[in-house]
Amino acid sequence: MAKSTLFISLQFHYFGILGLILTFLVIMAILFTCIGIFVIYYKRAEFHKKNWKLSVSGIISECVFEEWNASSLSGFPAHLRSLFNKKHFRDFLINELVHTKKSLAGSSTDNLKNLYCGLQLQKDSYNKLQSKKWHIKAKGVEELGMMEQKQYCNEIIALANDENELVRNEAQCAVVSLYGFEGLSFFLKDITYPISCLQQIQLLYKLGGLQPSDWHPLQGWLQSANDSVVEFAVKLAALYNNYEVYDEVVTCLKNSSLQVKLTIIEYLKKAPREDAAEEIKQYYHYESKTFRISAIRALQYIGDEKHIPFIQYQLHDVDNDIRLQAAKSLLYLRPAVNSAAGYVQSDDAPQLEEMFPGITKEYAA
């Protein structure tokens, strides 16, 4: 009895392992089949794209210099005309036009835009805005922005405050591309989501070289409840050397955001105002270590002799980083001098050398 039970249990055990192996092999077979189908589909799609690229490249490169009668499609080869009903081909064509437009400048891009509109491709791009998938939405915004489709401005502006960050970024960049500095007014007053540091750099880059005709909105942005908008507004004021809003910017030192305050310090470093250093000093004792270090560093550029006692006092701070920055700023404001007579130390030098050996030579003029 015991032997038969053992035999039966061994058989079950044997068939169990066999079953597991078979199941594993079936799963692997299905997996490899799926991978194989995907690879075949991918290769086929790439093959089509390569052929399409060969076909359309000549048309697009000619179109850059000569206007094409795109609305009738008669200028296109027969094998391409039949493809215009396929969404993949239209998306491919849009990609090529957008990519080409990005690489070209000047009057040659107008013909690309005309080709895009003549083939009604703006409708495809607009339809992407309705997609629930964020990456398709963002793609649609990019296409409409690159192809200067101002008739969809309202839809793009609405996306400047989208919950998805990448959609927001694309929409904001598109609005600035379409309308320049004035485009900022369309969304900065309403956005509730933060503008990331990288996005701020992107927007400033797109604005590069453009001159605003009206600075009035800047004052509103400096009072925004969105700290990143305030930060961006200060950066704008600094970039364009706008010191008419100096008082409004200084008021923003009361803002709770450290990033805003640090940006204001950078603005004040450039400001041609004698009281800029005093404004920073006023807030010094209430602020964090990062602010203090930044403030002491700023004093080396905008401070003068009368700020030296203040900086010297910071040499007694409990924090070593603050003491070090104070030492550097002091040496900057009153450097030890290497002269023909030899190395002439400033009055602070012995004390600083004791605190931070080697620092006086490092910062000698």
Q: Minimum distance between the CB of residue 57 and other proteins, rounded to whole angstroms?
A: 5
How far is Cα of residue 238 from the mean position of the Cα atoms in its chain? 19
Q: In b/e form, how buried is each residue of 329-355, taking b as 16+ CB within 10 angstroms?
A: bbbbbbbbeeeeeeeeebebbeebbee
Q: Minimum distance between the CB of residue 54 and other proteins, rounded to whole angstroms?
A: 7
Comparison of 97 and 159: residue with beta carbon closer to other proteins: 97
Contact call for residue 79 and other proteins (CB under 8 A): no
Comparison of 49 and 334: residue with beta carbon closer to other proteins: 49
**Is 327 within 8 Å of 359 (Cβ atoms)?**
yes
Q: Minimum distance between the CB of residue 247 and other proteins, rounded to whole angstroms?
A: 37
Comparison of 66 and 163: residue with beta carbon closer to other proteins: 66
Contact call for residue 100 and other proteins (CB under 8 A): yes
Sign of CA dihedral 245, 248, 252, 254: positive
Give the C-alpha distances (Å, rounded to integers) separating 282 from 159, 231, 241, 299.
41, 20, 23, 13
Comparison of 62 and 244: residue with beta carbon closer to other proteins: 62
Comparison of 52 and 267: residue with beta carbon closer to other proteins: 52
Amino acid at residue number 61: S
Applying CB under 8 A, which of residues 9, 33, 108, 130 lies at the interface with other proteins? 108
CA distance 73 to 88: 18
**Residues binding other proteins: what is the number (CB under 8 A)?**
20
- Three-state SS for 356? coil
Q: Minimum distance between the CB of residue 60 and other proteins, rounded to whole angstroms?
A: 5
Applying CB under 8 A, which of residues 1, 2, 78, 105 lies at the interface with other proteins? 105
Applying CB under 8 A, which of residues 68, 96, 142, 276 lies at the interface with other proteins? 96
Q: Given the DSSP bridges, would you call strands 342-344 and 337-339 parallel, antiparallel or unpaired?
A: antiparallel
Applying CB under 8 A, which of residues 81, 88, 102, 133 lies at the interface with other proteins? 102
- Angle 131-133-137 (CA atoms, 0-180°, nearest 5)? 60
Comparison of 65 and 354: residue with beta carbon closer to other proteins: 65
CA distance 191 to 165: 12
Q: Minimum distance between the CB of residue 185 and other proteins, rounded to whole angstroms?
A: 26
x/- string (CB under 8 A) for other proteins, residues 209-238?
------------------------------
Q: For residue 292, what are its two tokens? A: 């203090």
- Angle 149-172-160 (CA atoms, 0-180°, nearest 5)? 95
- Three-state SS for 343? strand
Comparison of 95 and 223: residue with beta carbon closer to other proteins: 95
Contact call for residue 272 and other proteins (CB under 8 A): no
Comparison of 16 and 58: residue with beta carbon closer to other proteins: 58
Contacts of 141 (CB under 8 A, 6+ apart): 128, 129, 156, 159, 167, 170, 171, 174
Contact call for residue 331 and other proteins (CB under 8 A): no
CA distance 245 to 220: 11
Applying CB under 8 A, which of residues 85, 107, 154, 256 lies at the interface with other proteins? 107
**Is 278 within 8 Å of 250 (Cβ atoms)?**
no
Burial class (CB in 10 A: 0-12, 13-18, 19+), 145: buried
Q: 48-67: which residues touch other proteins (CB under 8 A)?
A: 53-54, 56-58, 60-62, 64-65
Comparison of 56 and 333: residue with beta carbon closer to other proteins: 56
Applying CB under 8 A, which of residues 29, 104, 197, 365 lies at the interface with other proteins? 104
DSSP 8-state secondary structure symbol assigned to residue 342: E
Amino acid at residue number 52: W
Contact call for residue 106 and other proteins (CB under 8 A): yes
Binding site for other proteins (CB under 8 A): 53-54, 56-58, 60-62, 64-65, 96, 99-100, 102-108
